[in-house]
Amino acid sequence: MKHTIQLASILMLASFLSFQAFSQATTSRSWAFDCIHIPKATTTNSRSAPVIVAVVDDAFRLSHKELKDFIYKNPLEIPDNQYDDDGNGYIDDTYGWDISDNDKNVAVLEGRDKEFFHGTYIASIITKVASLHYGKAAAKRIKIMPVKVLADQANRTYLKDGYKGIKYAMENGADIICLAWSGGNPSKEDLKIIQDAQEKGILIISSVGNFNEEKILNPAVIPEVLAVAGINQNFQKEKHSNYGMRVDLAAPAEMVMGAHPEKDNAYIHDNGTSASAALVTGCAAILLSKKERLKNSALKEALLNTVTPYNKDFSTYGGKMGAGVINLKNALDYLSTPSNRSTHYSALRPKGMMVIDADSRSKKWEIRPVGDYHGFYLKPDISGIKKPEKHLLRIIVKDTLWNEYKLSNLPPQLFVPSPFLTLTLPKNSLKKKELIQINYHGKTIDSTKLYCSDLRYLNLEKGAVTDGSGENNYANSCSCKWLINVPIGKRIKFTFEKMDTQPNVDFVYLVDGKTAIKENIIAKFSGQNQPPVVVSRTNEVLVWFVTDKTSTGQGWQFYYEVVE
């Protein structure tokens, strides 16, 4: 495999240092687990076999107090007899398998616990979720299959054999596969592995990446994978977490406590979407443990349609951090009481499913999440309606009827070009046990091009130019250009009327000619100080505005005019 895969935790050494300094930490040890609402189990009802969760990662300390009772034992393999008892092609894979070194030893190589801490950390978060719900019975309900995909002698923490690890887990009984890493470009064979796992009913969960970019990395970007972003303790995007329309949901990613392989009782607090993926995996495992047969599509449905939605303070990343933050208590109720599914609907979720039935409290259903949207895709399922031709669904945009359909004529998918909308049915339209299901998701606006984008040409002899953000702050990671061209022999005078950008980071460049090379730069401005008047050397000036991923300001505006 030519590509490489990066662990989703940000800095390996930084994580270890947080372990060393933990005694001074003020963060609540349990905040991340409290945030996702893990209830205590009130019944002993569960499926007959434990849920097997494969953690495909670097290495594992199987003797750690958080893991030792949870490790999956292959019942068809006789330990240490040097024979492939179950005929699966792996000798003595009693407790998982080391794909990279092609042996049974998934443990952390002695002296390398600083680099090979990740698998232990991720697995322990999953077991912690299980223990908080099931208590002492947790290890009977959920088992961890350790799959090591980093060679003992590797000099970098890149998981070259990640997809081979998925294949092993898929072929050896995993119900859920946790991929707390990101990166690389999967081959056709790799994608086939993911598709095969999906067809077998296995839920694959992955973190979206830790580069603070509007970009979802592999494997999370693959449609069959549940993509998880990260939030901080203030219920905002964690500063490293990637984001984008492809995200399914989010979970805590800041100072999340987990096991460390240095000792059997060592712990760290770490940051990153690795922890988010592990928390969601733990919740998914609990849901799966409640039902004898539960399709991965039903599992995803329960997770997405019960999340805690984001509030109005989340507008910057609205629609780009998934449906909301995972809420295990709600998801358990959703599964245990199917008749209550419609009560879990929230208009604030930018993606999910509406369940419209005769018992619905309202005959009006809104989609009104925070954020900026081109509109919403709707995919209705009317198979639960006996006589669809007798029902009329209306779609209202801004208090005006946008369209109406008899259910029998409702398209299999439609796009409503509005940032919010309302669906209505006539009162008492549905009969008992009839229901309509509508899956939906928002089409978000690319924030990097929210106010300005690409190159604009200006040929007038005078005019005003602005970053375009108006009363709002300008966007992160934007690159916008204006090429001003006046008659030959003339020059251009620039008078700034407003300047408010992140100092020494976000710049407005004025460049003679069409090419932004160093020797052509007339001036560059940043910060809040009023720029001086600038006069070009030629009749053509390129204005280039470029920003980074961090803070933004109110933007800028200048007036230009021709001078002799």
**Residues 170-215: pLDDT tens digits?**
999 999 999 999 988 999 999 999 999 999 999 999 999 999 888 8
Helix (H) or strand (E) holding 298: helix 296-304
DSSP 237: B
The total of other beta-carbon atoms located within 10 Å of residue 530's CB is 11
| Band of residue 5 on the pLDDT scale cut at 50, 70, 90 | low
What is the predicted pLDDT for the residue at 24?
A: 32
What is the predicted pLDDT for the residue at 14?
A: 33
The total of other beta-carbon atoms located within 10 Å of residue 99's CB is 26
**Residues 16-25: pLDDT tens digits?**
333 333 333 3
In the chain, the percentage of residues whose pLDDT exceeds 70 is 94
Which DSSP string corresponds to 126-181? HHHHHHHHHGGGHHHHEEEEEEE-S-TT-SS-B-TTHHHHHHHHHHTT-SEEEE-E
Average pLDDT over residues 398-407: 94
Asked whether the beta carbons of 205 and 179 are under 8 A apart, the reply is: yes
What is the predicted pLDDT for the residue at 89?
A: 94
| Band of residue 6 on the pLDDT scale cut at 50, 70, 90 | low
Cα separations (Å) of 482 from 350, 436, 457, 471, 535? 34, 50, 6, 21, 16
Please give the structure tokens belonging to residue 488: 């030959």
**Rounded to an integer, what is the distance from CA 280 to the centroid of its chain?**
11
- Mean pLDDT over all residues of the chain? 91
Asked whether the beta carbons of 240 and 10 are under 8 A apart, the reply is: yes
Q: Is 59 exposed, middle or buried (0-12, 13-18, 19+ CB in 10 A)?
A: buried
Return the bridge partners of 415, or none. Answer: 377
What is the predicted pLDDT for the residue at 362?
A: 62
Our CA angle for 33, 64, 134, nearest 5°, is 40
User: Residues of 265-296 as b/e, b for ≥16 C-beta within 10 angstroms?
Assistant: ebbbbbbbbbbbbbbbbbbbbbbbbbbeebeb
Dist CA 313 CA 315 (whole Å) = 6
> Cβ neighbours of residue 79 under 8 Å, at least 6 residues apart?
92, 94
- To the nearest 10 degrees (0 to 180), the angle between helices 273-289 and 296-304 is 120
**HSE (CB half, 13 Å, CA atoms) of 179?**
36
Amino acid code (one letter) for 219? P
Average pLDDT over residues 367-391: 92
**Rounded to an integer, what is the distance from CA 551 to the centroid of its chain?**
21
**Residues 41-99: pLDDT tens digits?**
987 677 889 999 999 999 999 999 999 999 999 999 999 999 999 999 999 999 999 99
Same CATH fold assignment for domains 6-14+49-292 and 448-563 = no
What is the predicted pLDDT for the residue at 503?
A: 96
Structural domain spans, the chain: 6-14+49-292, 337-445, 448-563
Average pLDDT over residues 128-140: 96
Dist CA 167 CA 47 (whole Å) = 25
**Residues 241-271: pLDDT tens digits?**
999 999 999 999 999 999 999 999 999 999 9
Q: 6-14+49-292 domain in CATH 3.40.50.200?
A: yes
| Band of residue 361 on the pLDDT scale cut at 50, 70, 90 | low
Dist CA 184 CA 199 (whole Å) = 23
Asked whether the beta carbons of 341 and 305 are under 8 A apart, the reply is: yes
CATH number for region 337-445? 2.60.120.290
The length of the chain is 564
What is the predicted pLDDT for the residue at 432?
A: 81
| Band of residue 425 on the pLDDT scale cut at 50, 70, 90 | confident
Residue 4, pLDDT > 70, answer no
The total of other beta-carbon atoms located within 10 Å of residue 217's CB is 26
Domain covering 448-563, topology:
Jelly Rolls (2.60.120)
Average pLDDT over residues 403-426: 94
Say what the pTM is: 0.84
Dist CA 408 CA 385 (whole Å) = 10
**Residues 282-334: pLDDT tens digits?**
999 999 999 888 899 999 999 999 999 998 877 778 899 999 999 999 999 99
Helix (H) or strand (E) holding 32: helix 31-35
